[in-house]
Amino acid sequence: MHIVVVGLSHKTAPVEIREKLAIPESRMGEALTRLCSYQGVREGILLSTCNRVEVYAVVDEIESGYGRIQEFMADAHLSLSSEQLTPHLYWHQGDRAIGHLFRVAASLDSMIVGESQILGQIKEAFEVALTHKATGIILNKVVKKAISVAKRVRTETKIAEMAVSVSYAAVELAKKIFSDLSEKTVLLVGAGEMAKLAARHFIANGVRHVRVTTRSPQHALELANRFGGTAVAFEQFREDMASADIVLVSTGAAHYLVSEDDVQRSVKQRMNRPMFLIDISVPRNIDPAVRHVDNAFLFDIDDLKARVEQNRGGRLQEAEKAEQMVVDEVGIVRQWLQSLEVTPTIVALRTRVDDIKRAELDKTLGRLANLSVPERELVEAMASSIVNKLIHNTMVTLKAEVNSSEGAAFVEAARRFFSLGDPAVSNVNGNASSVSDTCHSSQEGIRDVEEVTQRTGSKMPDH
């Protein structure tokens, strides 16, 4: 069993491709069912945001698994063939797949590093997968871990400041256009996380007039209440734009909502008073041609990021710190995954029961000092026999289920029943290779264990 991820993100694919592959929430369940119906796909979870589409899965075999997932992705959109998709995809397996998920969750792979939205999106994706029973013991554990890693990164590093700094950059730019923000009006179009953050920043910097518009009037009203502003009908916001000095746009629309003409008209209505437009949407919602309008200043997310980059320096270290945390946490998950393998579990179980048997024998034989040698051997044989019979079924089941979809669950159960504790099994621990590498050797390992059990079994006196 191998954990793999196949996906594309803002780093590898243009928005046109991402849009096509994005899976709408309403069709998520169906997609998950389809994903799990592929042969050799044991568990799966789908992450579809405006910046990335990723499929995490537990597969029997890496190569065929990659192929199936790619097929699955191409199937999501009829106009795309699997080949067209290839140049935009990345494939990771084992540690790298887990590390990738951790980095995504911790917002290290985000367009705006440190933004918090992605964590919520992962939680949602996980909920949906749980509802459709698409995940199993492995992905459940790994995704939960990813969420906790993300939280740890947020609390222990200053990475979140990066996202904050993007909205800070917006305020700083505004201050180079308007000397006094308190008399200025902010129009918030859409309810993207970044835009809300920026709006809060503007309010913290003295802006008192906030107008909000979203496609859903109800949502606009809620937001307006939260910011102490007024709601504007979405259909009318273009006409209303002239009353705003600062326009913050962040919607999920795939096309331009604000055209050059809209801005030209607004600036004219404003008698050439400058306007500051911030487009935090991806894809962009304000026509870049607005740049040519006099007295209108348009900045998109890349411009703001460029501004942040200039002020950086110390924050880079924070990202490095976060990366190190990811590496550490991947190590912990790897150990746990290794524990799910049958061989080390059987070895651990054997060792555990042998230890118990030895201890009990020593205690009992210590009190029965006047036993003859054959009598002693008889007592020892009885102890061995009880122990072996007790664990016999567990051993057989573990070996039988090694390749079934519930194999990992059986291993986990066995570890708990026999309190086998941490997977720090010496023979596997020394091997720093990824899960996939050890998966192969585990087959041979099982044979070794079988020999061991047979040998101990043969010593058993047959009553």
Partner 1 sequence: MAAMFFVVTMVMYFAATVSFLAYLLWPSEALSKISPSMTAIGFASHTVALVARMIGTTDVSPPGFHEALSFFSWMLILVFLAVEIRHRLHVLGSFIVPLALVSLVSAAALPETAPTLTPMFRTLWLHVTLSMLGTVGFAIAFVAGVMYLIQDGLLKSKRFNVLYSKLPALDFLDHLNQQSIVTGFPLLTLGIITGALSAEFSRGSYLNWNPEQTWALVTWVFYFAVLMGRLTVGWRAKRAAYLTIIGFAGVILTLIGVVLKSHGPVS
**Shortest distance, position 271 Cβ to partner 1, whole Å:** 3
Residue of 1, 31, 45, 50 marked active site: 50
| Residue choice 33, 148, 182, 272 for contact with partner 1 (CB under 8 A) | 272
**Shortest distance, position 194 Cβ to partner 1, whole Å:** 19
294 binds partner 1 (CB under 8 A): yes
Q: In this structure, what DSSP letter does residue 291 have?
A: G
| Residue choice 297, 343, 425, 442 for contact with partner 1 (CB under 8 A) | 297
Residues 6 or more apart in contact with residue 301 via CB below 8 angstroms: 111, 112, 166, 194, 279, 280, 281, 282
| Residue choice 14, 206, 274, 457 for contact with partner 1 (CB under 8 A) | 274
**Shortest distance, position 248 Cβ to partner 1, whole Å:** 17
The encoded tokens of residue 39 equal: 């042969």
The encoded tokens of residue 278 equal: 């911030």
Establish whether the linkage from the previous residue to 344 is cis, with ω within 30° of 0.
no
**Shortest distance, position 310 Cβ to partner 1, whole Å:** 6
168 binds partner 1 (CB under 8 A): no
265 binds partner 1 (CB under 8 A): no
Residues 6 or more apart in contact with residue 106 via CB below 8 angstroms: 149, 150, 153, 154, 159, 322, 325, 326
CA distance linking residue 197 with residue 277, whole number of Å: 16
CB closer to partner 1 out of 15 and 177? 177
26 binds partner 1 (CB under 8 A): no
Judge contact between 351 and 359, C-beta under 8 A. Answer: no
The encoded tokens of residue 460 equal: 């058993």
20 binds partner 1 (CB under 8 A): no
175 binds partner 1 (CB under 8 A): yes
| Span near partner 1 by CB under 8 A; candidates 33-41, 270-278, 362-370, 424-432 | 270-278
Burial category of 44 from C-beta neighbours within 10 Å (exposed 0-12, middle 13-18, buried 19 and up): buried
CA distance linking residue 152 with residue 6, whole number of Å: 25
**Shortest distance, position 318 Cβ to partner 1, whole Å:** 22
**Is 50 an annotated catalytic residue?**
yes
Closest CA to 85 of 18, 143, 139: 18
| Span near partner 1 by CB under 8 A; candidates 197-205, 266-274, 380-388, 430-438 | 266-274
Interface with partner 1 by CB under 8 A: which residues?
173, 175-180, 268, 270-274, 291, 294-295, 297, 299, 303, 306-307, 310
Catalytic residue set: 50
